[in-house]
Amino acid sequence: VAVPERTEGVVAPPRLGIVGAGQLARMLCEAASALGLDTVVLAADRDDAATSVAGTVRIGSPMDPDALRGIADDCDVLTFDHELVDLDALSSLESKGHIVRPSPSALVVAVDKAVQRRRFAAAGLPVPRFVVLDGDATADRLALVAFADEVGVPVVKAARGGYDGHGVVVASSLDEAVDAAMSWRASGTDVVAEARVEFRAELAALLARRPDGETVSWRTVRTAQVDGVCAEVCVPGGLDDSTAEDAARLAVRVAEVCGVVGVLAVELFDAPQGLVVNEVALRPHNSGHWTIEGANTSQFENHLRAVLDLPLGDTSMRAAAVTTVNVFGSGSPIDGALARALEEPTAKVHLYGKSDRPGRKLGHVTVLGDDGAEVTSRAWRAAAALGTPVPAQIGVR
């Protein structure tokens, strides 16, 4: 039998660079591994969550232009675990021909909440009434007080550098808002003051978008934040189809305004005046972890597919109800906690390999099933067994 001689070499898989090496990078690397893709992460620290699963680990700061150039030279496409990055350095890499997805021109809306509010308002997207404080102390104070006269005690946000409730104060008095705003201004960041939205629920709409603008959307979820940090994500979480679809359509408009490539998460308020955009993430997001087991294609896999310009996967739900509960540290790890969590046989436990510190996000648990209340209580049982404090707002279920 004549065997045709192979003349071509094996085509090397694309090499994906990820700036940052936290849990999102870790789950991106897991999805990349299944597709046979090679990964390289830029980690600030040897112990970062993704360093044990990435193909190659480079150590460096996402704010250091040399470190960014190093990883860009070492990969085919550059993407992100978080947005605390040096945009100027990324823009210069892009202009030299490196493929950066999402592009720094899109990423700026996630890096800077003032830019985001202004860009979205200009595009006619529904955002809370806001004012940007970027003047001197006297002017800023006057502007904030005048704004509070119109909208009541505002919510204040550091324009840059915030995450997980750090950098946001839902103030209960004007003094509290002024103090927070002034201390951020003194540290050099602009501040956004905005009207407090009396929302019925917080939602998150998730999509993935290819470079040609093709998008796929997952089912809109209901999220619950405790002290500004996401505690649980319920799908569909009692959300009616028409609100869910409105949110998904709004997210597509947001994606077009941003020009995002990859996954986009849009945090929304479901308010009496309609859907209001809270903030966006141009990357996989905590509100989308349920898609790992709960959807035919996860947010991590579709992020990879989108940034590598590969066909996007089906986003349909695999069960009628899915709940994800975040696992937080208590500071005192419990002996045998994993075994106790796994006694709940439907719980899919994800631990990110991070050391236990009080309040630190250490992992998440997802449960799929037929009944929302049932999967939510199973997910909380497993998360509580792992040491997660059950907040009073959530209650013991």
Ligand X SMILES: Nc1ncnc2c1ncn2[C@@H]1O[C@H](COP(=O)(O)OP(=O)(O)O)[C@@H](O)[C@H]1O
Residues of this chain, 250-309, that bind ligand X according to CB under 6 A: 267, 278-279
| Residue 165 binds ligand X (CB under 6 A) | yes
Assess 48 for contact with ligand X (CB under 6 A): no
Least distance (Å) from ligand X to the CB of residue 83? Answer: 10
Q: Based on CB atoms, which residue is closest to ligand X, 227 or 343? A: 227
Structure tokens of 388? Answer: 């997660």
Of 40 and 156, the one with the shorter C-beta distance to ligand X is 156
Using the rule CB under 5 A, give the single segment among 39-47, 94-102, 176-184, 260-268 that binds Mg ion.
Answer: 260-268
Q: Which of residues 300-359 bind ligand X (CB under 6 A)?
A: none
Q: Which stretch binds Mg ion (CB under 5 A): 118-126, 263-271, 348-356, 369-377?
A: 263-271
User: What are the tokens at 335?
Assistant: 């002996």
- Residue 356 binding: pick among ligand X, Mg ion, none (C-beta 5-8 Å cut-off by kind): none
Q: Least distance to ligand X from the beta carbon of 288, Å? A: 14
List of residues 6+ apart from 367 with CB closer than 8 A:
322, 323, 344, 346, 347, 348, 375, 376, 378, 379, 382
Comparison of 119 and 340: residue with beta carbon closer to ligand X: 119
Dihedral sign, CA of 389, 394, 396, 397? negative
The one among 102, 104, 128, 288 contacting ligand X by CB under 6 A: 128
Residue number, 228 or 313, with CB nearest to ligand X: 228
CB of 230 to ligand X, least distance (A): 7
Query: Stretches 209-217, 246-254, 264-272, 362-370: which one binds Mg ion (CB under 5 A)?
Result: 264-272
- Residue number with CB closer to ligand X (223 or 315): 223
Q: Of 77-85, 164-172, 331-339, 348-356, which part binds ligand X (CB under 6 A)?
A: 164-172
To the nearest whole angstrom, how small is the minimum distance from the Cβ of residue 199 to ligand X?
Answer: 6
Position among 163, 173, 238, 331 found at the interface with ligand X (CB under 6 A): 163
Q: Which helix (H) or strand (E) holds 20?
A: none
Q: What does the alpha-carbon distance between residue 102 and residue 104 come to, in Å, rounded to a whole number?
A: 6
H/E stretch holding 68 reads helix 65-73
Which range of residues in 89-97, 98-106, 156-164, 245-253 is near ligand X by CB under 6 A?
156-164
Task: Kindly tell me which residue out of 65, 211, 228, 389 binds ligand X, with binding defined by CB under 6 A.
Answer: 228
In the list 40, 71, 100, 168, the residue contacting ligand X (rule: CB under 6 A) is 168
Question: In the chain, how many H helices and how many E strands?
Answer: 12, 18
Instruction: Report CA-CA distances (Å) from 17 to 20, 51, 58, 254.
Output: 9, 13, 10, 25
197 contact, one of Mg ion, ligand X, none, CB 5-8 Å limit per kind:
ligand X
Helices (H), 85-211: 87-95, 104-111, 113-122, 137-151, 174-186
Q: Are 42 and 85 in contact (CB under 8 A)?
A: no
Give how far Cα 304 sits from Cα of 32, 72, 262, 314, 330, Å: 7, 16, 7, 14, 33
Q: Are 275 and 250 in contact (CB under 8 A)?
A: yes
Q: Which strand (E) or helix (H) includes residue 258?
A: helix 241-258
Amino acid identity for residue 287 in this structure = S
Residue 176 touches which of ligand X, Mg ion, none (Cβ within 5-8 Å per kind): none
Contact positions with ligand X (CB under 6 A) in 174-203: 194, 196-197, 202
164 contacts ligand X (rule: CB under 6 A): yes
Torsion of CA 233, 376, 197, 239, to 10 degrees: 90
Distance of closest approach, residue 245 Cβ to ligand X, in angstroms:
22
CA dihedral 299, 233, 102, 156 (to 10 degrees): 180
Q: Which residues bind Mg ion (CB under 5 A)?
A: 267
Q: Which residues bind ligand X (CB under 6 A)?
A: 128, 155, 157, 162-165, 168, 170, 194, 196-197, 202, 225, 228, 267, 278-279
